[in-house]
Structure 1
Amino acid sequence: MARKGSGTAMPAPAMTLEVTVVSAEGVRVASGRPLCRGAYAVVHTASSSAPTRADADADCHGFPYWAEAVRVALPAGAPALDVEICCTRAGSGGRPAAEPVAAARVPVEDFTVGPPGHLHCLSYRLFDSGRSGVRRRNGIVNLTVRRIDGAPPAQGKAPPPPAGKAVDAAGPSGSGVSCCAAAAGLGKPAAPAGAVMGYPVGC
């Protein structure tokens, strides 16, 4: 039995997250063409997953836009959540089928700074879903994450954050303008995060 003050770490609690997948940039399908019609995003955790709507723009040229919030449960001790970009293709018998295109991993430490309800605006490098066995860079995904269990009641519904241009050099450099605007709409300070490096699903 560990004594009080012995330094034994307490297990991290389970969390309920609101993830707003804002947009993606420069995403290409396996053929090398820009991602166009039927693009949608799926947020995955070890215990749940939630998709956004499909972008209705049939000619988005690899820059789909959603600005849609989904809620997922993150189990205690989970190191990350995953964001996957997919598109809808005609499958066997003409039925629609999901085709994974690119994915990024979002480490827990990137969105757990600050109290519940704190808004974290992040951009991650996407990588090919890896059907060929080779992981290649494949655009950027822009999103916000906030923990909603234990958060104070919202004073009003904030407008969806605008899709800011993601920087090319990945690293935790200061918050962007779009993050500050979204955080201000919730009456909260901007999260200390900018563009950071994501990792392919499964790594």
Structure 2
Amino acid sequence: MAHKWTAMPAPQMTLEVTVVSGEGVRVPSGRPLCHGAYAVVHTASSSAPTRVDDDADCHGYPYWDQAVRVALPAGARWLDVEICRARGGGRGRTESVAAARVPVEDFTVGPPGHLHCLSYRLFDSRSGVQRRNGIVNLTVKRIDGVRPAEGKARVPAAGKAVDYAGGSASGGSCCGAAAEQGKPSAPAGTVMGYPGVGC
């Protein structure tokens, strides 16, 4: 009797993405993005939002410095970071403002746990052309494959939104001394991103 072999699915990566801040982001009317700003990290199998920055005086420079965890399917070539704003006094209305596409190759160099500090140019989410709309600063760390002594990583289920991340292990950093001490650090350079997906 012939045996049927079932191919095992390729493993997915678990990422801790800290969306630090935005710079020079404007809403569709052309005014600077102010209160109600939040970011969403999207992959093909999961997504997770940051908290809302309610600072009415940020003038296009929202700040979150919040880590979220998402699952990145094997073979994926990028993840998307989207900047949105909550509208309507908390009635559930949201508006997509800008987005960037982060290539996987930018944060997979080095061992699991290595911290990558990156900046990407944002583009208007609803523009028919790729019009620049500020910059997003973030860090990305792969947390699957980290040794148990360094911290445990929870692998998110595919298709599910993932909760905010807590502390996790560190396997080195390319962000400089400030990031190693837990302080926000400006990434070394700006990388050209691509428009992402809608809210």
Q: TM class by shorter-chain length?
A: 0.7 to 0.9
For 1:122, the aligned partner's letter is L
Is 1:96 equivalent to 2:117 in the alignment? Answer: no
Residue 114 of structure 1 is matched in structure 2 by: 110
- In structure 1, the residue matched to 2:176 is 180
Structure 1, 41-50 or 144-153: larger mean CA deviation: 144-153
CA–CA distance in 2 between the matches of 1:145 and 1:200?
Answer: 19
After the TM superposition, which residues 5-154 of structure 1 pair with which residues of structure 2 at under 5 Å, given as runs?
A: 13-90=11-88, 95-130=91-126, 132-152=127-147, 153=150
Distance 2:22 2:14 in 1: 24
Measured against aligned partners, the alpha-carbon deviations of 1:105-157 in whole angstroms (never above 9, x if no partner) come to 00000000000000000000000002x42220000000000000012315xx5
For the 8 Å contact 1:120–1:193, the answer to whether it is kept is no
Aligned CA-pair RMSD: 2.3
Gaps of 5+ in 2: 1-8, 152-166, 169-173
Query: What is the CA distance between 1:19 and its match in structure 2?
Result: 0.1
TM-score by length of 2: 0.75
**Alpha-carbon deviation of 1:58?**
1.4
Q: Which residues of structure 1 form unaligned runs of 5+? A: 1-10, 159-174, 187-191
Query: So what's the TM-score if we normalise by structure 1?
Result: 0.74
Distance of 2:177 and 2:190 partners within structure 1: 16
Q: Distance in 2 between matches of 1:27 and 1:137?
A: 9
The CA distance in 1 between the partners of 2:41 and 2:69, in whole Å, is 9
Q: How many residues align?
A: 163
**Cα–Cα, structure 1 residues 114 and 12, in superposed 2: closer, same or farther, change >3 Å?**
farther
Q: Secondary structure at the match of 1:127?
A: strand
The answer (yes or no) to whether the contact 1:25–1:140 under 8 Å persists in 2 is yes
* Distance (Å, rounded) in 1 between the aligned partners of 2:104 and 2:179: 19
Once residues 72 and 56 of structure 1 are traced to their aligned partners in structure 2, the CA distance between those partners, rounded to angstroms, is 24
User: In the superposition, relative to structure 1, how do residues 15 and 182 fare at CA in structure 2: closer, same or farther (>3 Å)?
Assistant: farther
Partner of 2:158: none
Q: Which amino acid aligns with 1:54?
A: V
